[in-house]
Structure 1
Amino acid sequence: MPRQRRTGGAERPSLRGVGAALTSLLALAATSLVAGPAAAATGEAGPCALPRTEAHHSLGVSDWNDAYPRPDRPLDAVMIFLSFPDHRPAVTPGELAADHFPATTQFFRRASYGKFTLRPHPLRQWIRMPETSDHYGIRRDWDNGRRGAYLRDAVAAADPQVDFSRYAVVYLVADPDAPGVDSDATKVVNFDEPLHADGTDIRRVVTVFERHPPDRNVLAHETGHVFDLPDLYHRPADGKGDWDTHVGDWDVMGSQFGLAPDLFGWHKWKLGWLDRRQVVCVQSSRDITLEPMAAVPAPGVSLGTRLAVIRTGEDSAVAVEARSSTGNDSTTCTEGVLLYRVHSKTPSGGGPVEVIDTHPETGGCGDRSVYAPLADAPLRVGEAYSVPGGHTRVEVADRTPSGAWTVRITTGV
């Protein structure tokens, strides 16, 4: 994650194969894909659904990679709190759990329109690691051997207290004040070969090294990776400069500090929270009424159209959605109709989504935005934009009394 801003029970099967499984770890930024069988996407994919590719965290929506849990039903997550011999924790597991929950559960419940609930199960006690905190060399770009030792020790130490077969998500939360803990090391670690404990495969874990209190929305971002969502930020080669040039504030997978962190409609389509009834594939000129992406309908009220898609190539599309100051986007800098490009062959961290700046000469909320040039990217009522390199024009014709946006999309221009 970029840090550019800060303000006892029955006996169970023993842990097996840990050493072998940890010899080839894949960090989150790796470009290879954890293999898994495909499962059909929700409903018929349709002509605008890009194919899933071998790219790490591919944004193809043609099918689902079953190596990842799909958040279309309630899922249970265990939080394991790790202490070290060289430091006595100054905070309690309960305080650290409260840093992230219920806020993370609420984020996903709003983003999914109530279709997904993340149920946390935090341990009430510290699990003692066998080595000191500095022994593991914890840092962002972590040595594979030391990271492997950390994960091997953590899972082995927790196994007597945790039945891993009960959980789809595993959070390993380190004592934030231990001298060897580096908050930049917070990330998801995928295993080439899954660990096997309590009769279940552990394919990935979330290693949490956050300070107390933590970065806003950090666990929503990391948990998104558990559900096969990519990093949308750009990491400069030297680690310096702007990290948020691809999507700015628009989506928590770009920045946990974003002013409009709700997930893109494309992500919601991939996860199964939107289906063909809420996604319009534009193949000829037409008018579409788009409900704001972050707006959660009242009980019994249908979602309405949330996403319009124009296919631009074998593995590319332009997506159109409305964003307004509601739900997860309540702190947004600008309301309007957002356009972005999607590339299903581009891996996580390589720019699989690129927001189109319809106001390239201006910016917005420079004192709050993670990347001001894209803060005013959406089109407003009365504005139109011709997408470069294509034959598509998008015009915002009106906004309805209910807050939806009437969009005229012209193709072949």
Structure 2
Amino acid sequence: MSRIPYPEVDVERQLTPGGVERVRLRSAAAALTSLTAVAATTLVAGPAVAAGSAMPCALPRTVAHHSLGVDTWNDAYPRPVRTLNAVMIFLSFPDSAPTASPKELASDYFPATSDFFARASYGKFKLAAHPQPNWVKMPKASTAYRIQRDWDPDKRTQYLRDAISAADPTVDFSAYDIVYLVADPYAPGVDSDATKVVNFDQPLRVDGTDIKRVVTVFEQHPPDRNVLAHETGHVFDLPDLYHRPVDGKGDWDTYVGDWDVMGSQFGMAPDLFGWQKWKLGWLDRRQVACVPARGTTLTLVPLSAPPEAVGREGVRLAVVRTSADSALAIEVRDATGNDRSTCTEGVLIYRVRSGSASGSGPVEVLDTHPDTGACWERSVYPALADAPLGVGETYTVPGEKIKIEVAGRTRSGGWTVRVTP
């Protein structure tokens, strides 16, 4: 089973004159004949960046791809603060007879992915999956599309065109917010490294609705753990937090280790960082504390703890603004919820840079124990597995002269943290 994470790819779609945007087509075949020129790019479309925020520690959203600015929301993406409906379409090929049923493959991802987001969002977001019961047959052999991680744009376009066209007679795309295209994992041309999100530069108009992106799934059966949670995070404008070596070799997990599913779907503590939850709308102002210039002492509620265990107004995230587009974030991670498999607990500290693009280090976990590691047999990056501070420990942030001390625990399970400039 591969341990390589899966990057998101943006696809620019060019339309012929009089293209599909103005036409409601029940058959996507005609619509997709205009899906002609495709190019991989790192650009992202969206509303203009708005400056200013009611909270002084909220970094501004920038033009960086999947910027972690939290002062505004990019309306090009659905915000997961309500129920979103996802259709899961299963694609077979003429050169392979499926040996698993759509129902079996759907159970690889659901309800696990929905449960992950329900816990991460404290029940504020529901991902409602609608797996289709039958296989949709693609017109070409799986090998004809030359599926691979860094996919030829023309072949990828052909695959998307054929998939949407083949599914359209039986799928009403207007009923869904998210589209998952799941390939038969046993087809000879399917490459599990090709799983990714594809964004259309211009929406594809099908069934009277705009399809802005699709999730193309080429996983083995069973798939990599939490892989669909990772890819769905991109659908909500979350960045890749792993480090991709220039030559594709080396360690991918040096930025955040196990501490967020957008860093590694294999992490022991895959819950989303508190900062990402703030961006998505799952933490409100009452749960985020901006640290004043003079410093402060505060009690932090564990990030994964459910609301009923701690009350709905507990502070889960403390933020120290360090520049126009950077901040330090402080939160508590313990072995509950999505983080139940973690082998260490404590106060986690990380840098956030809203001007850094997806895959370029927008989040960096600070190693408060640089001379040691932990969980060598289970961690994706043991050097950061013991990054959290324990009770009685103090850490001074390099280059910032900010001291963070874990002063103790409360009876209710909170962690008392003292931050001193």
1:45 and 1:61 in contact (8 A); partners too: no
Check if 1:265 corresponds to 2:265. no
d(CA) in 2 for partners of 1:300, 1:171: 35
Check if 1:32 corresponds to 2:43. yes
Q: 1:188 aligns with which of 197, 200, 205?
A: 197
RMSD, aligned α-carbons: 1.9
The residue type paired with residue 48 of structure 1 is C
Provide Cα deviations, 1:48-105, integer angstroms capped at 9, x if missing partner: 1111111110000010001000000000000000000000000000000000000000
Aligned residue for 1:334, secondary structure, equals: coil
Q: 1:293 aligns with which of 285, 303, 307?
A: 303
Q: 2:94 aligns with which of 85, 90, 93?
A: 85
Question: Compared with structure 1, are the counterparts of its residues 241 and 207 closer, same or farther at alpha carbon in structure 2 (3 Å cutoff)?
Answer: same
- Structure 1: runs of 5 or more not aligned: 6-10
Residue pairs, 1:267-346, within 5 angstroms: 267-283=276-292, 284-298=294-308, 301-346=311-356
Check if 1:389 corresponds to 2:399. yes
Question: Compared with structure 1, are the counterparts of its residues 273 and 205 closer, same or farther at alpha carbon in structure 2 (3 Å cutoff)?
Answer: same
2:50 and 2:60 in contact (8 A); partners too: no
1:21 and 1:191 in contact (8 A); partners too: no
The residue type paired with residue 155 of structure 1 is I
Match of 2:212 in 1: 203
Check if 1:236 corresponds to 2:250. no
Question: Compared with structure 1, are the counterparts of its residues 298 and 192 closer, same or farther at alpha carbon in structure 2 (3 Å cutoff)?
Answer: same
2:332 and 2:415 in contact (8 A); partners too: yes
* TM-score w.r.t. length of structure 1: 0.94
1:34 and 1:190 in contact (8 A); partners too: no
| Offset of residue 268 of structure 1 | 0.2
Residue pairs, 1:13-412, within 5 angstroms: 13-15=26-28, 17-21=31-35, 23-26=37-40, 30-36=41-47, 45-283=54-292, 284-298=294-308, 301-411=311-421
Aligned residue for 2:234, secondary structure, equals: helix
| Offset of residue 399 of structure 1 | 1.2
2:27 and 2:165 in contact (8 A); partners too: no
Task: State the aligned residue count.
Answer: 401
1:39 and 1:64 in contact (8 A); partners too: no
* TM-score w.r.t. length of structure 2: 0.92
Q: Which moved more, 1:341-350 or 1:298-307?
A: 298-307
Check if 1:3 corresponds to 2:13. no
d(CA) in 1 for partners of 2:129, 2:39: 25
| Offset of residue 298 of structure 1 | 1.4
Q: Which moved more, 1:391-400 or 1:125-134?
A: 391-400
2:50 and 2:71 in contact (8 A); partners too: no
d(CA) in 1 for partners of 2:93, 2:278: 42
- Structure 2: runs of 5 or more not aligned: 6-23
1:172 and 1:206 in contact (8 A); partners too: yes
| Offset of residue 201 of structure 1 | 0.9
Q: After the TM superposition, which segments of 4 or more aligned residues of structure 1 sit over 4 Å from their partners? A: 37-41
Match of 2:13 in 1: none
Percent identical residues: 66
| Offset of residue 372 of structure 1 | 0.3
Q: Which moved more, 1:31-40 or 1:53-62?
A: 31-40
| Offset of residue 36 of structure 1 | 3.8
2:2 and 2:224 in contact (8 A); partners too: no
1:250 and 1:262 in contact (8 A); partners too: yes
